[in-house]
């Protein structure tokens, strides 16, 4: 039996991965909401739920202690937990940007550092995002957090001489609860940002649409399963045409990218 550690296990992509892998493997499944613990436990007897709040360093340390008290080998760590901090860079609170990096970047690195010895010879699969290509205005904290995640983990693989294979999965828009949550979590800035009223309305409409019309989670799950089974996976994979498009645009000179994105924004924000 293989052993997996998956954060963000209570919803969307992470929850689907738990259901997939726990059929024939042990899965340590991270939750922050105690109400969802039983739900996770009921998925399979192979699931071992563990508490982890990605904003609390102490909680991550305790999660590492819990996992390493039960196993000395993790075949694959899948870093999934994430949230979206949205708004205009001009007036978004710095603490909100800090929280974005805590949840999407620093927490994953801390958990990985804590489990590193158990991971030697195994894989780390990060659920990054097409946002890592950095071309989406008004979600810059999210884009920056995903880019930073990719950079830190690429270095980790290189510096440790490939003791652990790191793979970045970059989905485009996937229909999960993330989008509704992002509207709720950013409500104040999205609804009371008079300098950017039209843009914020566009953002909310777009998020609502994405939560319904995005790609099925299965696309990400199938790719993760495939990558997990490969001996020599690539370092980065995209999911969806939007992610492919973002990667192509991001390779253009920055001034061209800025002009294209500004033009696209003008067309879409009315």
Ligand X SMILES: NC(=O)c1ccc[n+]([C@@H]2O[C@H](COP(=O)([O-])OP(=O)(O)OC[C@H]3O[C@@H](n4cnc5c(N)ncnc54)[C@H](OP(=O)(O)O)[C@@H]3O)[C@@H](O)[C@H]2O)c1
Residue 49 as a binder of ligand X (CB under 6 A): the answer is no
Spatial contact of 5 and 79, defined as CB atoms under 8 Å apart: no
Q: Which is nearer to ligand X, 116 or 142 (by Cβ)?
A: 142
For ligand X, the binding residues in 19-38 under the rule CB under 6 A are: 32-33
Least gap, CB of 218 to ligand X (angstroms): 12
| 129 near ligand X, judged by CB under 6 A | yes
Q: Does 207 bind ligand X (CB under 6 A)?
A: no
Q: Which is nearer to ligand X, 122 or 141 (CB)?
A: 141
> CB of 259: closest distance to ligand X in angstroms?
25
Q: Given the complex with ligand X, which of 32 and 165 has the nearer CB atom?
A: 32
Residue 77 binds ligand X (CB under 6 A): no
Note whether 122 binds ligand X by CB under 6 A: no
Residue-wise over 139-161: b if at least 16 C-beta within 10 A, else e?
bbbbbbbbbbbbebbeebbeeee
Contact (Cβ atoms closer than 8 angstroms) between residue 235 and residue 154:
yes
User: Which positions from 212 to 231 touch ligand X by CB under 6 A, shown as an x/- string?
Assistant: --x-----------------
Taking the C-alpha atoms of residue 183 and residue 172, their distance in angstroms, rounded to an integer, is: 18
Q: Which of 5, 6, 13, 189 forms a contact with ligand X (CB under 6 A)?
A: 13
Show contacts with ligand X in window 149-178 (CB under 6 A).
Answer: 171, 173-174, 176-178
For ligand X, give the closer residue by CB, 11 or 71.
Answer: 11
Closest to 84 (Cα-Cα) out of 16, 154, 36, 131? 131
Residue 240 in contact with ligand X, rule: CB under 6 A: no
Instruction: Please report whether residue 186 would count as binding ligand X according to CB under 6 A.
Output: no
User: By CB under 6 A, what part of segment 92-121 binds ligand X?
Assistant: 103
Give the footprint of ligand X on this chain (CB under 6 A): 8-14, 32-33, 52-55, 80-83, 103, 127, 129, 171, 173-174, 176-178, 181, 214
């Amino acid at each position: 039996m293989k052993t997996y550690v998956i954060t963000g296990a209570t919803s969307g992509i992470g929850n689907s991965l738990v259901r997939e892998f726990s059929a024939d493997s042990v899965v340590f499944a991270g939750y922050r909401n105690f109400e969802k613990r039983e739900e996770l436990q009921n998925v399979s007897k192979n699931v071992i739920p563990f508490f982890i709040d990605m904003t609390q360093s102490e909680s991550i340390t305790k999660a590492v202690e819990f996992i390493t008290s039960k196993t000395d080998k993790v075949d694959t760590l899948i870093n999934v937990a994430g949230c979206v901090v949205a708004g205009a860079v001009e007036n978004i609170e710095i603490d909100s940007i800090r929280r974005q990096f805590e949840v999407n970047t620093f927490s994953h690195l801390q958990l990985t550092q804590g489990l590193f010895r158990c991971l030697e010879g195994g894989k780390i699969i990060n659920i990054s995002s097409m946002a890592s290509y950095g071309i989406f205005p008004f979600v810059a904290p999210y884009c920056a957090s995903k880019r930073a995640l990719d950079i830190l983990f690429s270095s980790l693989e290189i510096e440790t001489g490939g003791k652990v294979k790191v793979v970045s999965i970059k989905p485009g828009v996937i229909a999960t609860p993330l989008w509704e949550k992002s509207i709720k979590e950013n409500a104040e800035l999205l609804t009371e940002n008079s300098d950017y009223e039209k843009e914020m309305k566009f953002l909310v409409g777009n998020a609502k649409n994405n939560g319904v019309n995005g790609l099925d989670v299965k696309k990400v799950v199938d790719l993760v399963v495939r990558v997990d089974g490969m001996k020599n996976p690539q370092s980065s994979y995209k999911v969806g045409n939007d992610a492919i498009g973002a990667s192509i645009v991001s390779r253009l000179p920055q001034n061209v990218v800025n002009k294209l994105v500004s033009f696209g924004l003008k067309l879409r924000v009315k």
